[in-house]
Each structure stands twice: as C-alpha cells, then as structure tokens.
Chains A and B, each alone.
Chain A
Amino acid sequence: MSELNTEAISVQFQGLRALDSVDLSLKEGEILGLLGPNGAGKTTLVNVISGFQRPTEGTVRVDGKSVGGLTPDALARCGVARTFQSVRLFRRLSVLENVEISALCHAKSRNEARSTARRALEFVGLGPVARRLAGELPYADERRVGIARALALRPRFLLLDEPAAGMTDSECRDLVEIVRQLPQSFGCAVLLIEHNIGLVMEVCNRLHVLNGGRTLADGPVETVRNNPDVIAAYLGGA
C-alpha cells in the first residue's frame, strides 16, 4: 500500500510563515480534498511535495522514504505528478506533444509515448483536438490538457491545483466525473485543491483544511464539514 506523507512541514517566506508544521497524508486509492481560503498555503504545500519549494523545516516521505533532496523532474519520474493553478501549457506545441513530453518519461520511443498520450487525451475527452496548438484552446480545455499531461507520467500521486477554476457548471460536472475515475482507471491517489464545496463533497473521501498555513481539520468529509472551526473560518464565509 503506497502512501505519501508530509511531516511537520514549515515554509517561511521572509516575514511570512506560509506553512506551519503541516502533517498531511495521501493514501493509495483515495481522493483527498485540500481546502482553505486564498493565501492559506495550499499551493505552497503542493510546491513542497512536488519538489519546487524547499521546506524550511520538515520532511516529505513516499512509502516511508524521504524524498526531500529530489528535484521536481526526478519526483515526476518517480510518480509524484502535479498540475499548476495557472495551467502552464507548452503553448506553441500541439496538444498531443504537450502530453507526449511527459509520456516520454517511461516510453522507449516517440511512437510509444504518442500512443500513451492519445489514451490520456481520450480519457479527458480531448481526443479530437490533439493536433491543435495548445495555446489556441479554450480555458476549460487547457485545464484538461494539464490533467492529461500529468496522467501521462503514470503517477501514483496526483496533485491537482484548482483544476475547476474558471469552469462553467457543466464543465465542472465533466471534471468531477474525470476526477472520480482516476483512482480506478490510473491507480493513483488524488490530492484535489478546490474552492467549490459542492464539488469537493461530491468527489472526495477525506478533507484536509488549511488556514493561515496551519492545519485546521483533517478527517472524513462529514466530520470536517460539521467542525465548528471550519465553519467559522471557511465554510461560513463561503
């Protein structure tokens, strides 16, 4: 059973403590919702886990082994994949090439990578636009390319940073279906950052709530939803 843990992660930006001793765990097969108001430290935590941000204190472990010294690309190759809140596609490359690039990690040839990429694009419903330039896609499709690109790494842990931001209700529903299938179809655990509480309740098994860089609550959806601190700090205000 594989598992990703952060142990007492703190990140200090000059005067600002963006994360303060955060313990989070992500277990095989689950979809964990990471909640918190803007500036709570959610993206910073994803940056730490994916190797983009060195924590001031604390350790990230995969299956009990520290992965603190690994670079983002090494982590991606070992099964920790992420998307970006700002998407960051390779805009002047085709949609297929965008996904092929990460598929090349585990493929022996461009042909093999291309077929992995096609499958990932079919899965997120973008098969028909594979030949288009990534920079020409509408916003909602860009985000789905970002997910396909992460999936082509064959991740064991997938970190999605606000994948539904800016989507319409019907686009959100499509996304929920995609995310819900990930553990079975790709065998990966999902960490989902999302503001839309309805969407989170629908798809997640467990919630982890951050506020001002600290863990406010962590547990099954029902328990966390009824936690008075959470209601006061976040749900109440939403």
Chain B
Amino acid sequence: MALLCLIAVLGGPYLTDIATEAMIYTVMAVGISIFMANSGIVSFGHVTFALVGAYASAWQTCCAGMRGVFMPGLPQFLLDSKTPVLLAALVASLLASVVALVSGAAIMRLTGAAASIALLSLLFIVKTIYENWDSVTAGQSSLVGLPLYVDMWTAFGFASAAIVIAQVYNASSFGLLLRATREDEAAARASGVNIWRQRLIAFVISAFVTGAGGVLYGHYLGTLAVNVFWLDMTFVTLAMVVVGGMRSLTGAVVGAFAVTGLRQTLLALERGVDLGGVSISLPSGAQEIALAVILLLILTFRPQGLVGDNEMTWFGGARDSS
C-alpha cells in the first residue's frame, strides 16, 4: 500500500500503469490459483472466464448510446440498462461462475492431464462461440468505448478482494478437502472426500475471481477483442502462477508482479533505450521468448516456484500450512 502511494506520487504515469496492470493480472492469477494451487490440476482454460466476464460487463455498461449499433443482438433490457459499473462487474463475474458450474460438472470428473486438456477445449469452444456471435460481441472486430473506471486504486481494491476470497477459501474446510485430493486421490476418497464436488466448488469460485480480472482488463483498456483472451494470455497468466509457486496464493501474487515487471522491462527494451549515446533495442518478440526461457529455467531449477509452498500472512489472516 505504502509502495503504491509512493508510485502514485513519484512514479509518474508509466509506473502507475505498470502497477495497475500488475494488479489486474494479480486478480486473474489469484483466480486461477484458487483452483490450481488446491487441486493440483494445471488449467489451460481459465482465460475463458476472463473472456466471459469482460464481455458480460461490456453488455451492461459499454458504448453509451452506441450499444445497439455494436451489439444489436442484445436483449432489450440490456440495451436499455444503465447498470452501475461495480454492479455490472459483480453480475459479469457471476456469469463466469455459471459457465464454470455447467462446464465443470462434466470436466471435474477428469483428472490430471485429461482435465488440463479438457479445460483447454473449453477455451476453444467458448472463444469460437464469442468470435462468431457477431450480434453481441462484434465478432472479429473490437468493441470500443467501455467506461474507463479502472485506475491503480480500483485495481488495488479488486486485487485485495481477490486475495481475501482466496484466503477465506484456502482456510475453509473446502480448501483443505481439495488439497487432500491434490496430495493423493485414492487416500482422499478413502477419507470420504467427494473429489468431483470439491473440485467443482473451487472451480466456480476461481471462475468468479478470474472473471472479475477480465472485467478489469476491459475497463482498463477501454476496448475489447475476443482474440485477446487466447493463448498469449493463457501463457502469461499460467507463467505467473508457475513462476510464483504453483501451490501457493502468495506465489500467484508474487508471480503476477514479477512477470508483469519483466514483460514491461523487455517491452521497453524492444522499443529501444539510450545508453551513453548508443541506442540499443531488442528485436521484437524478445519479450515472449525471454518469458518462455525464464519459465523453462524455473521449471527446471526451481519447480516449486519463487516462494515455494510458503504463505505470507495477508491482512492478518491466519496462517495455514497448505
């Protein structure tokens, strides 16, 4: 918090932007981590919920009088609605949860790699639907004119709320039961744990938080395109969770900041910097490659991530070994 004030006062618009972006990604990474850290299942599909959340918020708040022009297929009550942005964010995140409940009922019966691939299929399906559903998503073109209400402090508020939700879940009996299934499925079943049910509960909560991350993303940029919520974003958000520590909430937060900071530094280098009169710039694409290489190095030499299985105490919550 103190650091954010410092950034706001001294950092200028550039650092403020980076901090805002880092906190938007924190919301997504924390959302993914609620499911991944406790279930042990790598999710290639969580960007689906960011996509659903972002568009659902746009349906309620976008484009002032132009909503019917961009999205003529929307039902009348949405075309007329003047939903306050925060209420719209809540409703949008809940819609992401509903999508998780319906799809998860089937996918959560799977385990390990099969579940990971099924989650990727979910992203393919939903992305394709949104891309071709021109009348409510503007299809292949972009939506512009989302209310720009996301500044650093809004993002900070959302990130804090996401962390609180994750912490409450982790400390609940549901979190503990899901960690049991992560450690040993057979032993969890012998201990009376309904694996499908526990995974589904976490999936729905994590979709809610990831959906909120998607909402922020749209209202930070002011424009939306379906193909933003695709493999690049999947890779970046997964990298955050893995870099920080796949089994830890603290890891997701640390990872979101570390990866955002790294990407922005590399992007700046791609644009070129002046060093004592010599201008150097990295070739474009260096950012993606460097991130991938760093991810490989971490997976090889520190598979538990930067913070391992450790948890920092957030907002005075109880420490829970997980």
A90 CB contact (under 8 Å) in B173, B187, B192, B194: B187
B41-80 to A contact mask, C-beta < 8 Å, 1/0: 0000000000000000000000000000000000000000
7 nearest CB pairs, A to B? A90-B183, A102-B191, A76-B192, A105-B192, A88-B187, A72-B189, A101-B180
**A92→B193 contact, CB < 8 A:** no
Binds B, one of A22-30, A77-85, A177-185, A199-207: A77-85
**A104→B176 contact, CB < 8 A:** yes
**B180→A76 contact, CB < 8 A:** no
B187-206 to A contact mask, C-beta < 8 Å, 1/0: 11111111100000000000
A153 CB contact (under 8 Å) in B172, B179, B192, B194: B192
A43 within 8 A of B: no
- By beta carbon, the residue of chain A nearest B191 is A102
25 A-B residue pairs with Cβ-Cβ distance under 8 Å, sorted by A, are A50-B190, A52-B189, A71-B189, A72-B186, A73-B189, A76-B190, A76-B191, A82-B190, A84-B186, A84-B190, A88-B184, A88-B190, A90-B179, A90-B183, A90-B187, A92-B179, A93-B180, A101-B180, A101-B188, A102-B191, A102-B192, A105-B191, A110-B173, A113-B173, A133-B321
- By beta carbon, the residue of chain B nearest A91 is B183
A94 within 8 A of B: yes
Question: What chain A residues lie within 8 Å of B177 (beta carbons)?
Answer: 101, 104
Shortest beta-carbon distance from A149 to chain B in Å: 6
A168-191 to B contact mask, C-beta < 8 Å, 1/0: 000000000000000000000000
**B194→A73 contact, CB < 8 A:** yes
CB within 8 Å for A101 and B189 given contacts A73-B195, A89-B184, A94-B321 = no
Shortest beta-carbon distance from B136 to chain A in Å: 41
- By beta carbon, the residue of chain B nearest A47 is B186
A90 and B183 alpha carbons, distance in the complex (Å): 5
A180 and B183 alpha carbons, distance in the complex (Å): 31
**A76→B187 contact, CB < 8 A:** no
Shortest beta-carbon distance from A169 to chain B in Å: 28
Question: What chain A residues lie within 8 Å of B189 (beta carbons)?
Answer: 52, 71-73, 76
Using C-beta atoms within 8 Å of the partner chain, give the interface range for chain B: 20 to 34
Shortest beta-carbon distance from A146 to chain B in Å: 9
A194 within 8 A of B: no
A22 and B190 alpha carbons, distance in the complex (Å): 23
CB within 8 Å for A52 and B192 given contacts A93-B179, A104-B173 = no
**A92→B186 contact, CB < 8 A:** no
Question: What chain B residues lie within 8 Å of A77 (beta carbons)?
Answer: 192
B256-290 to A contact mask, C-beta < 8 Å, 1/0: 00000000000000000000000000000000000
B residues neighboring A (CB under 8 Å): 172-173, 176-177, 179-180, 183-184, 186-195, 247, 309, 321-322
- By beta carbon, the residue of chain B nearest A51 is B189
A162 within 8 A of B: no
A97 within 8 A of B: yes
A89-B187, A149-B187 given; 13 more Cβ-contact pairs under 8 Å: A52-B190, A84-B187, A88-B190, A89-B183, A90-B184, A90-B187, A92-B247, A92-B322, A93-B180, A104-B173, A104-B176, A110-B173, A153-B191
CB within 8 Å for A52 and B186 given contacts A76-B191, A77-B192 = yes
CB within 8 Å for A101 and B184 given contacts A94-B321, A110-B176 = no
Question: What chain A residues lie within 8 Å of B193 (beta carbons)?
Answer: 73, 101
B186 CB contact (under 8 Å) in A88, A94, A100, A149: A88
Question: What chain A residues lie within 8 Å of B179 (beta carbons)?
Answer: 90, 92-93, 97
A90 and B176 alpha carbons, distance in the complex (Å): 11
- By beta carbon, the residue of chain A nearest B172 is A110
**A93→B183 contact, CB < 8 A:** yes
Question: What chain B residues lie within 8 Å of A92 (beta carbons)?
Answer: 179, 183, 247, 309, 322
A84 and B189 alpha carbons, distance in the complex (Å): 12
Of the candidates B177, B188, B192, B247, the one having the most CB atoms from chain A within 10 angstroms of its own CB is: B192
Question: What chain B residues lie within 8 Å of A89 (beta carbons)?
Answer: 183-184, 187
CB within 8 Å for A72 and B190 given contacts A90-B183, A92-B309, A97-B321 = yes
A110-156 residues at the B interface, CB under 8 angstroms: 110, 113, 133, 149-150, 153
